[in-house]
Structure 1
Amino acid sequence: MAKLAYGIAVKVLEQLGSRTFQEISSAWGIRSDLKKLELTVATIKAVLLDAEEKQASDRRLTIWLGELKEVLNDAENVLDEFHYRVLQKEVMKRYGSTSKKVCHFFSTSNPLVVRFDLAHKIKDIRKRVDDIAALKDKFNLAERLEDRKIINMHQRRDMTHSFVNPLNVIGRDDEKEEIIYLFMDPFENAGRNVNVIPIVGIGGLGKTTLAKLVYNDERVVSHFQLRMWVCVSEDFNVTRLIKEILKSAKVKIDENLGIDQWQTSLRELLKDKKFLLVLDDVWNEDRNKWIELEDLLLGGCNGSKIIVTTRNDSVATIMGTTPTYNLDGLSQEDCLSLFVTLAFQEGEEKQYPNLLEIGKEIVEKCKGVPLAVKTLAGLLYSKLDECEWKFIRDNEIWHLEQNEGDILPALRLSYNQLPLHLKQCFAYCSLFPKDYEFFSIELIQFWMAHGALQSHENKELEDIGDLYIKELLSRSFFQYVNEDLYCCSFVMHDLMHDLALSVAQGECLTITKKSVIDEKVRHLSFVGNGQEFVTPLQKLSRVQTIIFQIELPLSLVEACISRFKYLRVLDLSESSFEVLSSSVGALKHLRYLSLSFNWNLKKLPNSICKLYNLQTLLLDGCINLERLPKGIRNMINLRFLVVTTKHTYLSENVVGCLKSLRTFIVNRCPSLRCLFEGMDGCLSNLRTLVVENCPKLTSLSLNIKHLTALETLIIDNCEELNLTEEDSQDLKLSLQKLKIVTSHKFAVLPQWLQGSANTLQHLEIEECYNFMALPDWFPSLKSLQTLIIIDCPKLSSLPEGMQGLTTLRELRIRDCYYLSRKCIQEDWYKIDHILEIDLDEDSETSSSLNRIINDIV
């Protein structure tokens, strides 16, 4: 499910335990009710991990958990309303409002509002929670800690074996040869007697099959004196693995002996032998456990090898001593050959060309994953009815009846290994279409809007979200597309998307004409004609997410805004209305609002400024938006803002007072001349500032000295921008990344950059045709790790003292012919300490050759 009961309980307890609610409970006379609610939820939370696991075999538990989630969701909504009122009061206090209504609302002398509105809701919630809590004892649930490893024995993978008939394997010949080459290469990591080669890929891709092909190849058999195969699976118990290795080597195991004797037997077995050990399906991320086993395996002869197959990059990092071998999907041709072999009897495909054509389309859905091909081919074997083939072609894989070993159970095993918070985040991704390109900064804000990021007192929520994405990438749930200084993009394999759909059923729904909408659905994504959904939506009331991936009528937008008062996320991107409905101001729970690429949008209603809880506002691509409303400063919770506007400047009163802002992106503002004006001590928490495609922008008019939290600054295609306006200041900044692209006014580095001498790690200058020289103080940037200079023809030399930049690891100079030639002919001594050098290909010689020459000298 998209949102596990455990996760909601954690969120509710965080709210109840905050200082805000402690102060409110005392002032409003509801301390007793809130305390009782907190104790009851804490008691239920203790057994929820056990309940979530056991519900698969107990229908009563599923029903109980569903009812619990309902009341916890309601509790979260009520508590969130309290938080909204606190923010409202803060806005009025900050900007000097004398509104008596707001003051009266927060006065303890107004029992009518307190007692009969929010207090009444709290009492109702507490009673419902008490009633549900009273039922938990009949399920005999055990208390569990969140970090306890839960292994469902019914879903554990079957033990693998080493045998494979190569005649039954299609493709992978090239991959097999590459692995075998690593075995035979005497210079490959010659410093170790035992090397570990990790093979990484998503479930069902054929990692085990590839390892079997290598293991049984005649050249490998003759090359190693001893070969052993062990399926590790989730249980990385060192004692068990020692016994399994001995068994694989045909060593008789005496169960009466202890671990010391088994360890001795293993050392004696491997001593002075060149061996091959395959550790298949490894999940362990505890480095200490691996070191304990590795110490027992280092007694073999030079040239011994260990192959590790895993779905997790972090496992490969812990165990590998060679570069990770990332396994790609099979080619379309090989997939089709595999499908034909398994779906047809010999020669049968020629008799049924229509089925073969449908089969080609089915194979395309598998995107190179052989296990998916095998699963679908197996379902269709001996079936010659064209309708049955079309049914498979036109339905998602997760709709098909699955057995252990088929593709979704294989992927679900990966899912079951995820921590709870990552399960929730992954499930939310089902709301986006297949092949959707995610951008990390926006997805993190989406997760944040739903409270899916676990808070940590020493980390920003954005950093926590970034760690989540890296973890999902390392486990192959996401696949990299591109990476920039402040953002990365990635996609989900279609099979991973199907898995997300599977686990999110009941809470997340992508609506089409044929969709059956359950009243418990919380998160909706529309992919069909908007008007036809108005009637089915009338039975829903607690929806938290609306994503429109279609052209929609304004009437549907108004219907959703007026009906769904608990929305946290509203995505209206690529719509066509000129004015957003003023009723949006009533969405007091809203955290995320996207109006991106609304080409016709001219004005935002003033009511939008009442969204005190809003954390993310996306206005990129709104090329006809005249200006931002002045009251936007009231959005005191705003952390992420992207703006496109026709306005000529953004004043302090509009944006500058947003002290919670962490990321600010200004893009495609053709008339913008001044980004900020009259700033003094504002934007003190801003960490990322990106200004792109603002051709008339001449000045930031921003006191750089106040941006003490700024880590990333990117200026792209702002030809007239002058960055030297603050050069007179004595600054201490924390800038880590600076990128300047296409600026005609950019001739020298600004003096204020010296304020980041101890923090700047990445400097990139591109297409700055008037950039003349790096300053004499450049070597003072003692933390610089990457320097990239592209297409700056007037830059002809590097400054003296470059040798002092001992942290510099990468130097890239492209389309700067004179600079590259100077570096090679005269200034090589300035850069010869840098590990990675990439100079113009048309220079007199390549940087790699010079590296070799330098090493020889």
Structure 2
Amino acid sequence: MSDILGRDKVKDELVSIILGKGTEKEKCPHVISLVGMGSMGKTTLAQLAFNHHEVKDHFEDRIWVCVSEPFDQCRVAKAIVEALGVHQALLKPFRDALKNCGSQSSRILVTTRKDKVAKMMESANTIKLEELSEEDCWLVFRKIAFSDKDPKQCEQLEVFGRQISKKCKGLPLAAKTLGSLMHFKKSIEEWKNVLDSNLWELEDVERGLFAPLLLSYFDLPSPLKRCFSYCAIFPKDHDFNVNELVHMWTAHGFVESMGNMEVEIMAREYFDNLVIRSFFQKYIYRYRMHDIVHDFAQSITKNECFIISSDIESKSNYNNARHLRLVIPEKTQFPVSIDNAKNLHTLIFFNQGGYNISNLFQNFRLLRVLTLECRMELPHIVENLVHLRYLNLFECNEGIGKLINLRHLVGKNFLIPRGIGRLISLRALRCFSISEEDSEGCKLGELKNLNHLQGNIEIRGLGNMVDVSEVENAQLKKKIHLREMLLSFKKGKDRGWQDYWVPNAVDPNDRRMERDVLVLNALEPPQELEQLDVNCYQGITMSPNWLMFLIKLKTVSICWATKLMSLPPLGKFPFLESLNIWHVCSLKKVGVEYFGIESKNKKEDIIFPNLKYLSFVSLEEWEEWIGIGGKEDADCITVMPHLQCLEIRGCRKLKSLPDFLRTIPLNKLEVAGCPIIKERCQRETGEDWHTISHIPIIDLKEHDIWEDYCRLRSPAPFTK
């Protein structure tokens, strides 16, 4: 939403305060507080200000952090650091940089329901949000309820609509919820039924908001009611992972199948429907449930959904409990009262106290969803959970091969045990790790019959592969429902990102480079892929035969390919939007080879026709970026006509930028840790200034924080 009805003056005032120049007399840090009761639109208003174009241009860094109950200073500090795009491991060296966030021009914007919080924060400015006027409330309601309706129909319904909007009592969330409900109502009779509903007589602490929510809830089809109420199992301010939620819904059978359509696809449509009806709201890049909507969900599931985060014995009766979120803090006792929850279907377990979870599964044999947010080995008794459909965990054992009804196996960096090939109902397998020791884990060929896999998969430990025929046995090309694939060639134990900084051991007698090329050629991913990431590949070239058939690719990333001498030919991919080349340490020249055209056969063509984002990071030996040749070639070849952002970081030896950049409608150029390029791009005086002078945003930095981090983390070179 680019604007907010009824709050224009407040929004302008807020943006003006945020942009105000600091003075020496001004408090530092400068705190601005938005105060108002729940559902008044505080967060929406703050989000509009946060994303305002003038605010974006004014501040180099903008951070959005949610402070939830109970308040945790460490969690908030960690969220601030991560929001700045810095890995957690950088927390200590980054502390000094954070001190500068309290500079005179910095601003802190706080939203709260309580005046005392604004006072406690020593706010320099406090803005109190009041209820919307009757007319503004009508405008919010009308904008949603009457969208896509015939003007004559709107005229007939207006008299009922105005009466309904009066019942919102000036609450923006109520107007939005009712507008979303009435959007689906076409006849006068339907509108009149809502207006005359007995639910309006309800009174509640949220000043009339539950009645609109109940009306909208009762209007949902039964499957959507079950899906919405299930969300009470999550805490307030939870950032919903749509895939996780969809998989849980399908595990419980909440989603009705339709023909040959996979229920996971139908479940995603359910989620979109709930978003349209304002049960979920999109905040920045994630979905959340408003606090009051969450309270409402808990009110309709108070005997089925429970969240326990203490060892204090509750007086609640768990006999009818279906869904439980259980957090066992350190040095606390396990609440034995939940042993009565014999009918439990969901268990989300955070074990911080070292509790032996084997006892849990003696009682909870009807589980369909199990999440274990704790580092412990899965007990063998789990193989008796024959109803289990969704499993999220850190450790795995061979008993998992007996869970033949399992549809979703979620978790990262655990070793896949043998027998997983029997789970032919699997729809989600997030990570498949190949062991260095052949006796420890299953072979890649066990993927052969798992042709229903959907979404994304990470295949790690490909550097441990010895038998190329085993790669062919996996038959990845038949996994036509996969859309994203990560291929990691890390040798030894591969725990993901944190292990990429540790170089592969180099054995003079090892034929690793040749083997990686053979393994890559044999993998043959499905042609429906939209994202492909290749990490730690040790081949000199990367041009597998199957690459040219992946024409639906939108994102490609090549990282830590330390021996790669040339980039693969990607320029002809019609839908490619993002290309990331990171830590390709041996690459010295980027030429026409990655355009996908032969240097001797240049003809009229469009290269990278839809590329929007291009990133080169830490290419330590990169010296030349060659363009398309002379003027004659430039006239017949169009390069990257839709590129919006070019990022070059930590490429200290790069000598110049290619001439074709002057014809690209770039919006932003970021250069950091590239001293030669920085000098050549200086305004008016730099040798490459004529190539980039048309770019609106040019950001030139002396140092690259990632380059410094690489230097910090990288161990000494391998020696024999």
TM-score using structure 1 length? 0.47
Q: Residue in 2 aligned with 1:690? A: 486
Select which of 322, 327, 330 maps to 1:527: 327
Distance 2:347 2:456 in 1: 24
Query: Quick one: which amino acid aligns to residue 766 of structure 1?
Result: W
Q: Residue in 1 aligned with 2:348? A: 547
Give the secondary-structure state (helix, strand or coil) at the position aligned to 1:566: coil
Distance 2:212 2:343 in 1: 34
Give the secondary-structure state (helix, strand or coil) at the position aligned to 1:630: coil
Select which of 593, 610, 617 maps to 1:784: 610
Structure 2 CA distance for partners of 1:433 and 1:315, relative to 1, 3 Å: closer
CA offsets 1:541-565 (integer angstroms, 9 cap, x no match) = 332111112246665x334423333
Alignment of 1:572 with 2:372, yes or no, is: yes
Alignment of 1:616 with 2:408, yes or no, is: yes
Residue 632 of structure 1 and its aligned partner are, at CA, apart by: 0.8
Alignment of 1:636 with 2:424, yes or no, is: yes
Q: Residue in 1 aligned with 2:567? A: 749
Q: Residue in 2 aligned with 1:604? A: 397
Give the secondary-structure state (helix, strand or coil) at the position aligned to 1:567: coil
Alignment check: 8 A CA contact 1:705 1:731 kept: no
Distance 1:205 1:469 in 2: 22
Select which of 532, 542, 563 maps to 1:724: 542
Distance 2:459 2:546 in 1: 28
Q: Residue in 2 aligned with 1:660? A: 452
Alignment check: 8 A CA contact 1:285 1:314 kept: no
Query: Quick one: which amino acid aligns to residue 566 of structure 1?
Result: L
1:221-240 equivalences under 5 Å are 230=135
Q: Residue in 1 aligned with 2:388? A: 590
Q: Residue in 2 aligned with 1:273? A: none
Distance 1:431 1:663 in 2: 24
Select which of 663, 667, 691 maps to 1:830: 663
Q: Residue in 2 aligned with 1:739? A: 557
1:96-245 equivalences under 5 Å are 174-177=10-13, 203-205=39-41, 230=135
Alignment of 1:514 with 2:358, yes or no, is: no
Select which of 548, 559, 562 maps to 2:362: 562
Give the secondary-structure state (helix, strand or coil) at the position aligned to 1:822: coil
Q: Which moved more, 1:508-517 or 1:644-653?
A: 644-653
Residue 463 of structure 1 and its aligned partner are, at CA, apart by: 4.7
Query: Quick one: which amino acid aligns to residue 145 of structure 2?
Result: N
Distance 1:673 1:784 in 2: 35
1:193-342 equivalences under 5 Å are 203-205=39-41, 230=135, 278-280=139-141, 282-284=143-145, 286-289=147-150
Residue 572 of structure 1 and its aligned partner are, at CA, apart by: 1.8
TM-score using structure 2 length? 0.55
Q: Residue in 2 aligned with 1:188? A: none
Q: Residue in 1 aligned with 2:79? A: none
Structure 2 residues without counterparts, runs of 5 or longer: 18-36, 47-132, 156-170, 184-201, 488-495, 505-511, 598-604, 673-677, 684-688, 698-720
Query: Quick one: which amino acid aligns to residue 429 of structure 2?
Result: L
Distance 1:728 1:528 in 2: 49
CA offsets 1:26-73 (integer angstroms, 9 cap, x no match) = xxxxxxxxxxxxxxxxxxxxxxxxxxxxxxxxxxxxxxxxxxxxxxxx
The percent of aligned pairs where both chains have the same amino acid is: 23
Q: Residue in 1 aligned with 2:694? A: 850
Which has the higher Rg, Structure 1 or Structure 2? 1
Alignment of 1:581 with 2:387, yes or no, is: no
CA offsets 1:271-307 (integer angstroms, 9 cap, x no match) = xxxxxxx45564327424479869xxxxxxxxxxxxx
Query: Quick one: which amino acid aligns to residue 850 of structure 1?
Result: H
Alignment check: 8 A CA contact 1:616 1:638 kept: yes
Distance 1:762 1:419 in 2: 39
Alignment check: 8 A CA contact 1:711 1:735 kept: yes
1:49-68 equivalences under 5 Å are none
Distance 1:544 1:574 in 2: 19
Give the secondary-structure state (helix, strand or coil) at the position aligned to 1:638: coil
Structure 2 CA distance for partners of 1:736 and 1:521, relative to 1, 3 Å: same
Structure 2 CA distance for partners of 1:229 and 1:172, relative to 1, 3 Å: closer
Query: Quick one: which amino acid aligns to residue 595 of structure 1?
Result: L
Distance 1:435 1:728 in 2: 44
CA offsets 1:376-400 (integer angstroms, 9 cap, x no match) = xxxxxxxxxxxxxxxxxxxxxxxx9
Alignment check: 8 A CA contact 2:430 2:457 kept: yes
Structure 1 residues without counterparts, runs of 5 or longer: 1-160, 163-170, 182-200, 211-227, 234-277, 295-307, 320-399, 484-488
Residue 634 of structure 1 and its aligned partner are, at CA, apart by: 0.1
Query: Quick one: which amino acid aligns to residue 444 of structure 1?
Result: V
Residue 848 of structure 1 and its aligned partner are, at CA, apart by: 9.5
Give the secondary-structure state (helix, strand or coil) at the position aligned to 1:647: coil
Structure 2 CA distance for partners of 1:644 and 1:652, relative to 1, 3 Å: closer
Alignment check: 8 A CA contact 2:390 2:408 kept: yes
Count of aligned pairs: 485
Alignment check: 8 A CA contact 2:639 2:664 kept: no
CA offsets 1:628-661 (integer angstroms, 9 cap, x no match) = 3221100001121233757127633333432222
Distance 1:544 1:688 in 2: 30
Q: Residue in 1 aligned with 2:528? A: 709
Distance 1:290 1:746 in 2: 62
Q: Which moved more, 1:642-651 or 1:432-441?
A: 642-651
Select which of 414, 423, 431 maps to 2:233: 431
Residue 722 of structure 1 and its aligned partner are, at CA, apart by: 6.6
RMSD value, Cα: 5.0
Alignment check: 8 A CA contact 2:607 2:640 kept: no
Structure 2 CA distance for partners of 1:723 and 1:644, relative to 1, 3 Å: farther
Query: Quick one: which amino acid aligns to residue 204 of structure 1?
Result: M
Distance 1:688 1:747 in 2: 25
Distance 1:804 1:533 in 2: 67
Q: Residue in 1 aligned with 2:471? A: 678
Distance 1:536 1:726 in 2: 55
CA offsets 1:94-126 (integer angstroms, 9 cap, x no match) = xxxxxxxxxxxxxxxxxxxxxxxxxxxxxxxxx
Structure 2 CA distance for partners of 1:725 and 1:675, relative to 1, 3 Å: farther
Structure 2 CA distance for partners of 1:730 and 1:436, relative to 1, 3 Å: closer
Distance 2:692 2:220 in 1: 42
Distance 2:613 2:696 in 1: 21
Structure 2 CA distance for partners of 1:746 and 1:452, relative to 1, 3 Å: farther
Structure 2 CA distance for partners of 1:479 and 1:791, relative to 1, 3 Å: farther
Give the secondary-structure state (helix, strand or coil) at the position aligned to 1:519: coil
Give the secondary-structure state (helix, strand or coil) at the position aligned to 1:444: helix
- The structure showing larger relative contact order (alpha-carbon pairs under 8 Å, at least 6 residues apart) is 1
Query: Quick one: which amino acid aligns to residue 246 of structure 2?
Result: I
Distance 2:655 2:292 in 1: 46
Structure 2 CA distance for partners of 1:203 and 1:797, relative to 1, 3 Å: farther
Alignment of 1:796 with 2:596, yes or no, is: no
Query: Quick one: which amino acid aligns to residue 710 of structure 1?
Result: L
Residue 593 of structure 1 and its aligned partner are, at CA, apart by: 1.0
Residue 574 of structure 1 and its aligned partner are, at CA, apart by: 0.8
Give the secondary-structure state (helix, strand or coil) at the position aligned to 2:590: coil
